């Protein structure tokens, strides 16, 4: 049996989503590969304590604002410069720190744009983490049906000004002419911003109306056999079977709902955070929590391993409060 190594990993992240990678120094296994700063948890240490110590030792900084994220297990084979081992990686976001970055182990640093990583090779255990980081923490869902078009468009503009980067247009009440007209307005409003829009419909409809992505409901997900080309693809899931299907198809992300009870689906009880966390354990596809979410739930969702939260009324209402 290979040994299990527990590791604390620091994702230094800037408000615009850029994150820091470092090259593994000569003399360590997998030298030259890119990784997040971090290292082995010593006996008697919590993962959060190890995170601070490793940041001080490797980077000369002290994290002041941290947030636990995904835990990930990975089996490394033996290589020319390292023995076989299984790692349990405890990823943390580090949003703020004291001190200036220093390469205390002779490593190189590279800040990465979330959608345009430009250093390779990155340690293989990190591939799903980079996929998740290419998506923003908040996924908005439109609500023209309840708010009316002018109020919704105003609220959308305010969210775009505040940095919204991912939007699902979901208006099943509209006929195709009304949907085309609304889509044109939304896409025009979003165009100057760094915000990707997905249509909740078929991939053909999404492409035809000029969207960058499609959001599949669970029925469309189950009927699909290959990921549609040329689109960012998300899917709504309500159980493990659907999550696994989304992962097998290599979709870009999934939603899992309902986590908490919600006004839009009053008949459904929420699964709660514990079951939500269990369902995400071991999955590689990025997942957003949906159902009763408000902006204040983000840290809780991420501590369960989610990429972030998806919100409909919780988002548009938050800014009116
Ligand atoms: N730091 C770090 N380690 C990672 C990442 N991804 C990943 O699989 N690992 C693995 O986790 C383990 C961390 O070990 P490390 O070499 O950084 O440990 P350390 O800083 O305590 O140094 P040491 O070698 O002096 O004990 C390695 O097996 C490494 O391959 C990552 O993004 N960052
Ligand atoms: Mg290290």
Note the ipTM here.
0.94
- The average pLDDT across 173-196 equals 98
Shared domain for 167 and 115, answered yes or no, is no
Establish if 132 belongs to a structural domain: no
Residue ID of nearest Cα to ligand 1 atom 20? 39
Q: How many domains does the chain have?
A: 2
Establish if 217 belongs to a structural domain: yes
Listed in sequence order, the residues at least 6 apart from 177 whose beta carbon sits closer than 8 Å to its beta carbon are none
Q: What is the CATH number of the domain that holds 83?
A: 3.90.79.10
Q: How far is the CA of 278 from the centre of ligand 2 (A)?
A: 29
Ligand 1 atom nearest residue 129's Cα: 32
- The average pLDDT across 285-310 equals 97
> What is the pLDDT, as a whole number, of residue 319?
63
Query: Which residues belong to the annotated binding site?
Result: 24, 35-38, 58, 126
Shared domain for 43 and 151, answered yes or no, is no
Shared domain for 166 and 21, answered yes or no, is no
Average pLDDT taken over every residue of the chain: 95
Shared domain for 263 and 214, answered yes or no, is yes
> What is the pLDDT, as a whole number, of residue 263?
76
Shared domain for 32 and 153, answered yes or no, is no
Which of 229-233, 261-265, 281-285 has the least mean pLDDT? 261-265
The last residue of a domain, from among 96, 124, 152: 124
> What is the pLDDT, as a whole number, of residue 317?
85
Residue ID of nearest Cα to ligand 1 atom 5? 35
| Ligand that comes closest to the CA of residue 22 | 1
> CA of 246: how far to CAs of 51, 113, 215, 250, in Å?
32, 25, 12, 6
Shared domain for 109 and 183, answered yes or no, is no
Establish if 133 belongs to a structural domain: no
Task: Please give the model's pTM, rounded to 2 decimal places.
Answer: 0.95
Q: How far is the CA of 308 from the centre of ligand 2 (A)?
A: 27
Residue 297 domain boundaries: 138-317
> What is the pLDDT, as a whole number, of residue 2?
73
Shared domain for 107 and 197, answered yes or no, is no
Q: Is the dihedral of CA 123, 303, 280, 221 positive or negative?
A: negative
What SS3 state is found at 227? coil
Shared domain for 82 and 156, answered yes or no, is no
Shared domain for 115 and 246, answered yes or no, is no
Asked if the model's pLDDT at residue 320 lies above 60, the reply is no
Q: What is the CATH number of the domain that holds 181?
A: 3.20.20.70
pLDDT digits (tens, 9 = 90+) for 109-129: 999 999 998 899 999 999 999
The last residue of a domain, from among 124, 152, 178: 124
Query: Which residues belong to the annotated binding site for 8-oxo-dGTP?
Result: 24, 35-38, 126
Residue ID of nearest Cα to ligand 1 atom 1? 38
CB-based pocket (< 6 A), ligand 1: 5, 7, 9, 28, 30, 35-36, 38-40, 74, 87, 89, 123, 125-126
Establish if 131 belongs to a structural domain: no
Shared domain for 20 and 88, answered yes or no, is yes
- The average pLDDT across 231-244 equals 98
Establish if 282 belongs to a structural domain: yes
Q: Where are the alpha helices (DSSP H) in the chain?
A: 47-59, 127-133, 144-147, 149-161, 176-190, 203-208, 218-223, 240-248, 272-280, 298-303, 313-318
Shared domain for 172 and 296, answered yes or no, is yes
Q: How far is the CA of 79 from the centre of ligand 1 (A)?
A: 15
Ligand 1 atom nearest residue 40's Cα: 21
Residues with CB under 5 A from ligand 2 (ion): 39
Shared domain for 155 and 29, answered yes or no, is no
Residue ID of nearest Cα to ligand 1 atom 15? 39
Ligand 1 atom nearest residue 57's Cα: 20
pLDDT digits (tens, 9 = 90+) for 104-113: 999 999 999 9
The last residue of a domain, from among 99, 124, 149: 124
């Amino acid at each position: 049996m290979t040994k299990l190594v527990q590791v604390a990993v620091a994702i230094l992240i800037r408000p615009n989503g850029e994150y820091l990678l470092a090259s593994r120094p000569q003399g360590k296994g997998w030298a030259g590969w890119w990784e997040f700063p971090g290292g082995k948890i010593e006996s008697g240490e919590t993962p959060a304590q190890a995170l601070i110590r490793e940041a001080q030792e490797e980077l000369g900084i002290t994290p002041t604002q941290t947030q636990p994220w995904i835990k990930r297990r990975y089996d490394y084979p033996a290589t020319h410069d390292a023995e076989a081992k299984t790692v349990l990686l405890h990823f943390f976001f580090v949003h703020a720190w004291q001190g200036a970055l220093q390469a205390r182990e002779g490593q190189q640093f590279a800040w990465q744009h979330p959608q345009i990583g430009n250093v390779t090779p990155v340690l293989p255990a990190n591939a799903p983490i980079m996929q998740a980081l290419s998506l923003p923490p908040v996924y908005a869902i439109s609500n023209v049906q309840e708010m009316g078009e002018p109020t919704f468009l105003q609220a959308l503009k305010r969210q775009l000004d505040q940095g919204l980067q991912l939007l699902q247009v979901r208006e099943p009440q509209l006929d195709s002419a009304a949907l085309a007209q609304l889509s044109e307005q939304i896409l025009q409003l979003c165009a100057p911003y760094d915000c990707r829009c997905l249509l909740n419909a078929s991939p053909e409809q999404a492409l035809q109306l000029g969207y960058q992505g499609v959001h599949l409901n669970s029925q469309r997900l189950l009927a699909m056999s290959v990921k549609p080309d040329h689109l960012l693809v998300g899917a709504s899931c309500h159980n493990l079977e659907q999550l696994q299907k989304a992962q097998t198809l290599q979709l870009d992300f999934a939603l899992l709902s309902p986590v908490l009870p919600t006004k839009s689906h009053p008949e459904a009880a929420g699964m709660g955070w514990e079951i939500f966390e269990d369902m995400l354990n071991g999955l590689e596809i990025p997942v957003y929590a949906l159902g009763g979410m408000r902006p204040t739930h983000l840290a809780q969702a991420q501590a369960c391993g989610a990429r972030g939260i998806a919100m409909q009324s919780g988002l548009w209402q938050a800014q009116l409060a």
